[in-house]
A and B are shown apart, each in its own frame.
Chain A
Amino acid sequence: MARKPKLAVWKFSSCDGCQLSLLDCEDELLALAGNIEIANFLEASREVIKGPYDLSLVEGSITTPHDLKRIQEVRKISKFLVTIGACATAGGIQALRNFQSVSDFISIVYATPEYISTLEQSTAISSHVKVDFELHGCPINKEQLVEVISAFLFHRKPNIPAHSVCMECKLAGNVCILVSNGVACLGPVTHAGCGALCPSYNRGCFGCYGAKENTNTSSLSNKLYQLGVKNQDIQKLFRSYNAYTPAFLKESKAHD
């Protein structure tokens, strides 16, 4: 049998939640370990096998000068690089700082600000290196992660549709809560992947999978406005986990 492909998991600025999704794949992990060599995954094992790696999963955004250098290294030793989660794909919740001056925060938060070395902005991995595939979500869905890895192993395209959460909602047999209960829901502009988790529990989607393809955020904002959602609350809706995803960024700025 051919050599098993080598997998590495890298962490940048993040909460580790997406890596946990990988550990959460309890049943699938054994199958995974049988088909791929987990060569570098510090969250799971301290043992590190040297690169290059066939598949790198990258979690987290770029926020420090050190990150800037490290992501270039990671790219160099990775044949196939997949970002996992909102941080790596869009800058994450920490990209909220991009709307303010970072030096102001530092002086408030830290006793000795001179020890802090950080960049002005939190940015997505794709702003710095070529990314082969982006897996959305905050956190990512473990079934989608397994799908991406399976597709990689068997040289096929992953089945990760970029359409709306509404499609998943209707496939699950849900009734639209925006229409039937006037709940503010970002489903119509949000990338599928979660299986319509929040709407299934009567909660509006808050866009943690980022923008779907062909997003029309302003039309949805108009509707939310008609439902009585205040301008600043519309802004807050678009300014969360994926605040720096281009479509959401543009929409939140329109509500300044």
Chain B
Amino acid sequence: MENNSLIILAESLQLIFDNLNSFGYQTIAPTISENTIVYDQITKISDLPIGYIDEQTGGHYRLKKHSKPTFFSYTVGANSWKKYLHPPKVRLWQIKRKAKAMEFVSEETQPPKLAFIGVRGCELAAISIQDRVFLKDKFVDPIYSTRRKDIFIVAINCARAVKTCFCTSMQTGPKVEEGFDLSLTEILDDKKHIFLVKVATEKGREILKNIPYKVATKEDENIAENIIKTTAQSIEKKLDTENIKELLYQNYENPSWDEVANRCLSCANCTMVCPTCFCTTVQDTTDLTGEIAERWRSWDSCFTSDFSYIHGGSVRVSTKSRYRQWLVHKLGAWLDQFGTSGCVGCGRCITWCPVGIDITEQVKTLRENNG
């Protein structure tokens, strides 16, 4: 077995991009758009948010200049990798009226081969949760599976966390453990700017071809481990998951639901930004001539009234019932349904909730009023 732990110069990350591109991958990575970190296609490392950090708290996000020219010192972006694997809006099929019959046209999609660069621990966990939802059991989602098949993943160990991160509670980060081809730990000090690269797959090794490297020493490994440990220790937010399913199932009538419903806008931002939420709605449309009908699928949310609409009306009319559905599904029923929690602790729903409603605080309040 060749060495799986290598050191490359920071600027050699460009060569990883180049190799991926020459292998036919579109390289998707963090970049800045509208003063925010988003994931988008870039080919040059100069388009990474070099020297930026993010500040995230409930309902608040600001990008700031960092004192150091690091490549990955910010944390998770405003959107997640979900948009590539589980697209927000897709046409499922078309029907065209013909003289004596109808012609069904299915969507033949050839999604591009994508490489995700800079995927964090919580995000790897989110991808694995969606793999479980879309690929396992009887029903495989063809849209997800064709997109997921060839994804190349370069993971990153977080060297910094923000106030909304709680991966340590959900056991998903900050250390990346599995589900990637290559992982990086960024090391910058007075003398050097390097990455410690771990090679997890053969595909990963191929991509490193022709990139100058050194075998990592025990000392390099220790430095990297310490960076991850320091990040983990800096995380203050906690979600106590002990008996959480029972807690949620036993507290349907807890008065704290009313309190959160007073603040909740039922705007659905939390579910849209959550990297594990998978719900969709299907709409059939016709054009004005009646010659073409189409079926579209788009992201939906348990915070809308249409979501629970059945003959005669919506089941969840109140904001309270919708917020409760979100929390009970995410942290409770998900365990019954898929064998894991639906939450990876990325904190997006906290940051991007316009009024800063905090999932961890809600659990805390429920515990305090348990019974």
Contacts and interface: CB of A to CB of B under 8 A. Distances in A.
Interface of A: 28, 31-32, 34-35, 146-147, 149-151, 153-154, 156, 159, 161-164, 166-167, 170-173, 175-181, 185, 187-189, 202, 213-214, 216, 219-220, 222-223
A161 B317 CA distance: 15
Contacts of B290: 35, 153-154
A109 B266 CA distance: 43
A35 B288 contact: yes
Given A166-B268, A188-B265, A216-B319, A179 B285 contact: no
A134 to B, nearest CB: 15
B247 interface: no
Contacts of A216: 262-266, 319
Interface stretch (B67-75, B238-246, B297-305): B297-305
Nearest to A34: B289
Contacts of A220: 265, 354-355
Interface string B135-160: 00000000000000000000000000
Contacts of A172: 88
A248 B186 CA distance: 50
A180 B289 CA distance: 43
B299 A163 contact: no
A179 B265 contact: no
- Which of A173, A179, A219, A222: most chain B Cβ within 10 A? A179
B61 A179 contact: yes
Contact of B288 (A150, A175, A187, A223): A150
Nearest to B56: A179
A189 B354 CA distance: 11
Contact of A171 (B265, B298, B305, B317): B298
Nearest to B263: A219
7 contacts: A162-B305, A164-B267, A166-B267, A171-B299, A173-B83, A214-B305, A214-B317
A115 B363 CA distance: 65
A150 B290 CA distance: 8
A175 B289 contact: no
Contacts of B79: 173, 175
Contacts of A153: 286, 288, 290
A146 B272 CA distance: 27
Nearest to A199: B34
Report which residue of B79, B265, B267, B305 has the largest number of chain A beta carbons within 10 angstroms of its beta carbon: B267
A176 B352 contact: yes
Given A161-B304, A167-B301, A179 B267 contact: no
A153 B287 CA distance: 10
Contact of A156 (B33, B35, B284, B287): B284
Given A171-B88, A171-B299, A213 B61 contact: no
B209 interface: no
Nearest to A217: B265
A185 B10 CA distance: 40
B289 A35 contact: yes
Contacts of B272: 166-167, 170-171
Given A164-B268, A170-B268, A222-B355, 17 more contacts: A35-B289, A35-B290, A153-B286, A159-B285, A161-B306, A162-B305, A164-B267, A166-B268, A166-B354, A167-B272, A170-B299, A179-B60, A180-B34, A188-B265, A188-B269, A189-B265, A213-B305
Interface string B32-50: 0111101000000000000
A163 B304 CA distance: 6
A170 B88 contact: yes
Nearest to A218: B262
B59 A179 contact: yes
B273 interface: yes
B283 A150 contact: no
B35 A214 contact: no
Contacts of B286: 150-151, 153-154, 156
B89 interface: yes
Contact of A175 (B33, B62, B83): B33
Q: Choose among A32, A170, A202, A223 the residue with the greatest number of B CB atoms under 10 Å from its CB.
A: A170
Contacts of B317: 214
Interface string B250-286: 0000000000001111111100110000000001111
A213 B79 CA distance: 25
Nearest to B296: A159
Contacts of B354: 166, 176, 178-179, 185, 188, 220, 223
Contacts of A151: 286
Most B-side CB within 10 Å, residue of A146, A164, A167, A185: A167
A32 B287 CA distance: 10
